Chains A and B, each alone.
Chain A
């Protein structure tokens, strides 16, 4: 589909939906500024930023699912997936998978060996307070926060009855999901413990033009995922909060063959364990947050055909401390330090490479009295194995001009250090690599209009970014080796539009996100290189999603529509993947009583059985169904 055609389609949708005039969002999904309680760094990151809360409606629609599916369907983040249950990585604003920093309670959980996070392994149900920050944020969040930041968090719920939540999902292709969550809060304690198990045979029929008309089922594609999560918060005295967090995951999956492979017997097992102790002290003018965490991950990959049996693992210890001090009314200073020590081992590393990252940052935050004008300036210096990486800085400004429109502007210098694979992989690792770095700018606006029965919000953003020293692996002297070769210019626009309308028992909501990203390589790699000034491979120029829901009393129905444009699979654009539309419908019913909340849901994914691929020759499932039941038992404690 060509651009014009796409535009006409989008226009048609918008006009249709415009004529209804009554779509929108009236529930608590829109986060009101000033209402959320932000962490120290989050409050500094906020001026000038575009951010998106992963709200409860999104979480409900993806109950029992993984973050990759949620982000792909509900946000403008592009998810590059090898298939259901397989590796899924993100691309923000034309960045690479390693250009998304994923933070868990403030600490980065990107793999130090690949720089990436596999979003298919992150269950959504543990994190009810997650957000996405778009754009560069290295000065606050560190290496890799170039395209965007995904923050995974869970709210501490004090003074809450004992709740036992049991939920189960059944889906096509022998998909099963089960979760048990227990939460409890008193005046000085908030605790949560959850366990989730998900498995699927995943033998979906392949709708494909490649093979003949007889139905071919996806083979060797099953997966099992077990996750355990717990949070404990203790209020000590009036000023201190001590928290303990732990998150473990065990995943076992088969790697399916591509459409043109006859078979594949590879399997992959991922195990990760993450623990953290954090301490928050809140004074009159100061606030101090410190945390220590230990991360341990191991990936075992077995390919009997190629006689590969490899294990790669790493351990990290991360120490972070942030101090916020109010110097004057409205003015706050923030100082932070961070120390990360990582060791990695595997068949392709010799002598257990170690890495030491130490960073210092400082930030100034200003909030005008009315909170209409907010600014931030931040600066960060990191030392990688005691050598300086580029000094980075950022400045952001938010201005609420009237009660219905606000503006934001942000500029930053960002960086990403080379991964441990880039530096130490044998053969090929290049210890002399420079960090990737570059500048980005963005401007945006947020329009919010509402009255008692309807609301409307519209947030356009324009961004621009140039990253130098972008690392790619190229053959050099007979072996593949990473080099600081590319220079990538990304620019584009994003919009988020929401409508909400409420009449009597009816609530209509609609939201549309669009993304236009031009991400081009600016420098030729060699004499013949035809990729210069062409869109990077696997970055869609156009993508968008829409979400339309109707709710009446206890029943709600949502239609989720996604569009992904052309993605090139050859850097000179000689090969590509076709654009596709997918549609899903989600219906849910709930009933709440003092002792028991019940929710039932049904979902149809890819209603029109659209054949599509996110990675060349990796088929995606056609129409499929999911059903779920969620029960929350509440026990009223006597003194609550």
Chain B
């Protein structure tokens, strides 16, 4: 009896692996200037979104930066960050809010509430900003000083990325395949341009034209549009051939004459090219490339690898020849890059 009880105890306690998480590394402190801010989406409903800071000079990074500074979790799905007058506006998609922090210290200042599924924010003057939404068929006009939504402008579809040219905001709509145009003074919808389904990224080149990359929606082929922001005319349209491909994440280099985008691998295309590139700039191989950003300070392309989506991503930086320069760990699902 006694022996069996001892055996029972030993067996009950058996276990040869140490349980417990790895120890956290101390966060680095922003030195000011030249840093790369990365918004990490995290998993939908996991609440593990984060912001990472990377210093290219010392090749050091600080993950979960917001949490380290403020002691609270950032929230659910960090879609993007807007910047204005020393403040950063962290757009938390599935927390349905924008967290306002000091741009340098990342100290929390306020929350802007009342969104449904906010995506991107574009400040249009010192007090107002436009915030796109996934589900409301409208954009929200936010007063950044009061920290609240002033009004909503109905546009008729999902809204995603946006930029401002000539006093007009050009807003992509993935589900409608449109670019909606809002007058940033009157805040009225003044026009729309038909592009491809899955329109998401929008960027401006050196000669003032707009480029819109569309992933083709669920079953369609992707497309790339070049738009004249004055006449609202489509100047050029490129069609991707293969329906299984979903090009996205368009960005410009520092001189705004070369575009990069993601189509599993990374592609590079001059703004005067008459055809889509066929050979990748950087091959994905077994990587799961998820994000692209161009660092104008050192002319390097930053690419995020989301791996299996449930572990820390890795960021690679490439020089102009496509040679890897550095890599570092970031948070879960790195989404957008901001170069300060």
Contacts and interface: CB of A to CB of B under 8 A. Distances in A.
Interface of A: 1-3, 6-7, 10-11, 14, 18, 210, 258-263, 305-307, 427, 447, 449, 456, 458, 460, 472, 474-475, 477-479, 493, 495, 497, 512, 514, 516, 518, 525-531, 537, 541-542, 544, 565-566, 568-576, 579, 616-617
A527 B282 CA distance: 15
Given A566-B21, A575-B332, A537 B310 contact: yes
B286 A261 contact: no
Interface string B252-276: 0000000000001000000000000
Contacts of B8: 458, 460, 495, 497
B206 interface: no
B21 A568 contact: yes
A542 B48 contact: no
Contacts of B73: 210, 260
A456 B1 contact: yes
Contact of A495 (B11, B21, B113, B314): B11
Interface in B300-335: 305, 307-308, 310-312, 314, 332
A575 B332 CA distance: 9
A526 B13 contact: no
B116 to A, nearest CB: 6
B340 interface: no
A11 B12 CA distance: 9
A495 B5 CA distance: 12
A11 B311 contact: no
A262 B311 contact: no
Given A261-B94, A261-B96, A574-B312, A528 B287 contact: yes
A526 B308 contact: yes
A571 B310 CA distance: 6
A427 B73 CA distance: 33
A10 B287 CA distance: 44
- Most central of B11, B94, B288 by chain A CB within 10 Å: B11
A262 B149 CA distance: 16
Given A11-B9, A477-B264, A497-B8, A6 B288 contact: no
A416 to B, nearest CB: 21
7 contacts: A260-B92, A261-B45, A262-B95, A262-B96, A529-B307, A529-B308, A574-B312
B207 interface: no
B40 to A, nearest CB: 11
B76 interface: yes
B215 interface: yes
A558 B61 CA distance: 52
B229 to A, nearest CB: 29
Contacts of A518: 17
Given A261-B45, A458-B4, A616-B48, A531 B308 contact: yes
Nearest to A565: B19
A3 B20 contact: yes
Contacts of B288: 474-475, 526
Contacts of A458: 4-5, 7-8, 11
Nearest to A209: B72
A493 B13 CA distance: 10
B228 to A, nearest CB: 29
Contact of B1 (A259, A449, A527): A449
Nearest to A579: B19
Contacts of A528: 287, 305, 307, 314
Contacts of B20: 1-3, 566
Given A260-B73, A525-B308, A3 B18 contact: yes
Contacts of A307: 135
A130 B287 CA distance: 47
B200 to A, nearest CB: 13
A516 B332 CA distance: 28
A541 B19 contact: yes
A427 B307 contact: no
B285 interface: yes
A13 to B, nearest CB: 10
B12 to A, nearest CB: 5
B21 A576 contact: yes
A570 B95 contact: no
A18 B17 CA distance: 26
Contacts of A576: 21
A141 B18 CA distance: 35
A3 B15 contact: yes
Given A11-B9, A261-B76, A617-B76, A569 B46 contact: yes
A18 B311 CA distance: 43
B177 interface: no
A493 B287 CA distance: 36
A495 B7 CA distance: 11
Nearest to B306: A475
A495 B95 contact: no
B293 interface: no
A572 B1 contact: no
Contact of B332 (A263, A493, A527, A574): A574
A6 B1 contact: no
Contacts of B97: 262
Contact of A617 (B19, B47, B219): B47
